[in-house]
Amino acid sequence: MSGKGSRRSMSNAKSAAIAFGLSSEQASSIINEISQIASEWRDHFRQAGVSQLDITVLEEVIGKV
């Protein structure tokens, strides 16, 4: 990786692309797709019947994506 160790970052994820046989463009596409899906986690949880109270608690754990 890019010398940033275990820090979460898009550049860190992209720098590991070659290890998975991906081009930078492929990695960017996958990262964008996952980011879009992850940004909708609250909706998915609501549809699964998770209460608003639990979603509020989970926001602190998951982070405000």
Q: Where does the pLDDT of residue 5 fall: very low under 50, low under 70, confident under 90, or very high at 90 and above?
A: low
Q: Cβ neighbours of residue 33 under 8 Å, at least 6 residues apart?
A: none
Does this model's pTM top 0.75? no
Residue 3 has pLDDT above 90, yes or no: no
8-25 pLDDT, tens digit per residue, is: 677 888 888 888 999 989
Decide: residue 5, CB within 10 A, 0-12 exposed, 13-18 middle, 19+ buried. exposed
What is residue 35's predicted lDDT score, i.e. its pLDDT? 87
20 and 3 Cβ atoms separated by less than 8 Å: no
Residue 27: how many other CB atoms lie within 10 Å: 18
Per-residue pLDDT of 49-59, as tens digits, reads 999 999 999 99
Q: What's the whole-number mean pLDDT along residues 26-46?
A: 91
